[in-house]
Structure 1
Amino acid sequence: MYKATAAELADLGINPEANATGAAALRLATELDAARDSKEAAAAARELRQAMAAVRGMAAPRETGDRVDELAARAAQRAARRPSA
């Protein structure tokens, strides 16, 4: 879980060294990896899920366009290539 959590934090642009919730998420992922019984694992997983929900809420919105934006860009490119009448 540690690798997956670290990768998601990086993808979200959250630096765990500068963000306490991100650091807590990594710690919880480590605890989940080291859990010896299902009760420990369940508790760590629950807390990790809550921490990651908080981290996702803090992350800056992504600037990627959606399908509509892609189609509009293609239409604009086609219009620009058409000869003027």
Structure 2
Amino acid sequence: MMTSLNVDTALLQEAIELQRENSLETLVEIALREYIQRRKQPQHLELSFGESLGAFREKYQVHELGLNPDRIWEDVRVGTKH
């Protein structure tokens, strides 16, 4: 398949200089593969901390572990040393 692209020549030249062992077609293929891989990554990376924590708790069903936060953090809150 023949395709023409309009690419910034300075950008193209820099890519060619960085990857002298690869053909132009290979460089374009690599760029497209990386672009596609990035676009397919989960969008959860854009969540706030609270949203990420909620998603983690839901995914791993943390509530079913029966953890008691008061018991876990007791020494930290009180400042007790062991």
TM-score (normalizing by structure 2): 0.28
Higher relative CO (Cα under 8 Å, sequence separation at least 6) belongs to 1
TM-score (normalizing by structure 1): 0.27
Larger radius of gyration: 2
- The structure with the largest helix share of the pair is 1
